[in-house]
């Protein structure tokens, strides 16, 4: 439950809560020093609710907000449905308690598969050792070939495989801390296909930007992670958590200052910007669907 805003008068607060209910958004009101707070139950609806609250404050008497009868009808139907469910539930035998699933059987297989794969590749490349034979086959271009895409054109996997490479234990540790929670939220809400599309899109975009200006580097899964962070912040659904923002800012600063080796700071910035853009577009499209 997230705070959408405050309305000074109780009557107006109830009017706005009724409007949210008719739009399929559950809300709760609470007293405060400034008036009445409006709390939105579903976090995904928070950005849209805040936009609507701003419109309501500008024109609280607008006809589209006069929906008290419709809201009461919805509440009555909800009470009737709940009563019927209670009657049915009382007539049924208790359901067996499901066994707790194993953690890796949760509906986020790609999140964990990518993390495990990064660990395997880290061992095979000795954590980004330049002398590791496999390393040269996984970056976009050869050493010192900034702006060159010839190797990737001949071997297409090079566009994606840099996200599996990590330069040193600190880089891998950052990914192990930052990646699971970000990726798990996206995969659980939007599906495995959506997460795969973001990993490919943010990863390839960051790899290309990195190579164009600075040459090949062990970019790592941190590039898609920055893309997901930008998406969470721009989309505004569950939002980017404060700890994630602080961790990402500290890591990005260390990358740009060259404190952690060639981990692709340009790729991180590019993926973050792309994520913010994709998140903003997603938020706008969701708002239009709700209004329609």
Q: Would residue 99 count as lying in a domain?
A: no
Residue 191 and residue 270 in one domain: yes
Residue of 246, 244, 201 whose CA lies nearest to 224 = 201
Average pLDDT over residues 129-139: 84
Same domain, 120 and 74: no
Same domain, 66 and 137: no
Lowest mean pLDDT among 81-90, 121-130, 204-213: 81-90
Check pLDDT > 80 for residue 59: yes
29, 129: one domain: no
User: What are the pLDDT digits (tens) for 43-55?
Assistant: 888 888 899 999 9
Q: How many domains does the chain have?
A: 2
Average pLDDT over residues 272-282: 89
Residue 31 has a CB neighbour count (10 Å cut-off) of 10
Q: CATH number, domain at 190?
A: 1.20.1540.10
For residues 154-174, average pLDDT:
87
Q: Tell me: do 78 and 111 sit in the same domain.
A: no
Give the tens place of pLDDT for each residue, 76-100: 888 888 777 766 666 656 555 444 3
**Residue 261, Ramachandran bin (φ over 0: left; ψ between -120 and 50: alpha; else beta):** left
The verdict on 195 and 270 lying in the same domain is yes
* Residue 210 shares a structural domain with residue 137: yes
Residue 180 and residue 257 share a domain = yes
Percent above pLDDT 70 for the chain: 81
pLDDT attached to residue 130? 78
Quick one: 38 and 126 in the same domain?
no
Q: Per the structure block, which two tokens stand in for 147?
A: 């702006």
Q: Are residues 185 and 68 in the same domain?
A: no
State residue 117's pLDDT score: 94
Residue 95 lies in a domain: no
Which pLDDT does position 74 carry in this prediction?
87
- Residue 97 placed within a domain: no
The whole-chain average pLDDT of the chain stands at 81
Residues 168 and 27 grouped into a single domain: no
What pLDDT sits at residue 99? 40
CA-CA distance, 236 to 154, in Å (whole number)?
40
**Of 152-161, 214-223, 250-259, highest mean pLDDT:** 152-161
| pLDDT for the residue 46 | 86
Tens digit of each residue's pLDDT (9 = 90 or more) over 187-201: 888 889 999 999 999
104 band by pLDDT with thresholds 50, 70 and 90: very low
pTM, full prediction: 0.59
Q: How confident is the model at residue 118 (pLDDT cuts 50, 70, 90)?
A: very high
Last residue of a domain, one of 62, 90, 118: 90
- Last residue within a domain, chosen from 36, 59, 90: 90
Indicate whether 14 belongs to any domain: yes
pLDDT given at position 19: 92
Domain residues for 74? 2-90
Tell me the average pLDDT across 121-131.
87
Where residue 31 falls (left for φ over 0; alpha for ψ -120 to 50; beta otherwise) is beta
CATH code at 62? 3.30.70.2350
Ranking 23-32, 71-80, 134-143 by mean pLDDT, the lowest is 134-143
CA distance 191 to 43: 18
95 phi/psi in degrees, rounded to 5: -75, 145
pLDDT of residue 120 exceeding 90 = yes
Residue 101's pLDDT band, with cuts at 50, 70 and 90, is very low
């Amino acid at each position: 439950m997230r705070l959408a805003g405050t309305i000074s008068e109780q009557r107006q607060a109830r009017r706005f809560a009724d409007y949210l209910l008719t739009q399929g958004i559950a809300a709760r009101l609470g007293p405060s020093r400034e008036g009445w707070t409006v709390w939105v139950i579903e976090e995904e609806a928070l950005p849209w609710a805040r936009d609507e609250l701003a419109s309501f404050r500008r024109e609280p008497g607008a006809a589209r907000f006069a929906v008290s009868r419709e809201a009461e009808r919805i509440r009555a139907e909800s009470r009737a449905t709940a009563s019927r469910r209670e009657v049915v539930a009382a007539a049924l035998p208790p359901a067996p308690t499901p066994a707790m699933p194993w953690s890796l059987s949760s509906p986020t297989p790609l999140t964990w598969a990518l993390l495990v794969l990064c660990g395997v590749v880290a061992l095979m490349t000795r954590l980004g050792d330049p002398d590791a034979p496999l390393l040269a086959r996984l970056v976009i271009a050869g050493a010192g070939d900034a702006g060159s895409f010839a190797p990737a054109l001949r071997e297409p996997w090079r566009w994606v495989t840099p996200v599996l490479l990590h330069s040193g234990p600190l880089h891998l540790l950052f990914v192990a801390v930052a990646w699971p929670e970000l990726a798990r939220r996206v995969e659980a809400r939007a599906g495995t296909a959506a997460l795969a599309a973001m990993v490919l899109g943010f990863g390839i975009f960051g790899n290309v930007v990195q190579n164009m200006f600075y040459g090949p580097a062990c970019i790592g899964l941190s590039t898609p992670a920055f893309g997901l962070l930008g998406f969470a912040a721009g989309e505004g659904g569950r939002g980017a958590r404060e700890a994630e923002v602080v961790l990402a800012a500290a890591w990005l600063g260390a990358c740009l200052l060259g404190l952690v080796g060639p981990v692709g700071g340009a790729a991180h910035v590019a993926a973050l910007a792309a994520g913010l853009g994709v998140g903003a577009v997603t938020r706008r499209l969701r708002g239009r669907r709700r209004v329609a």
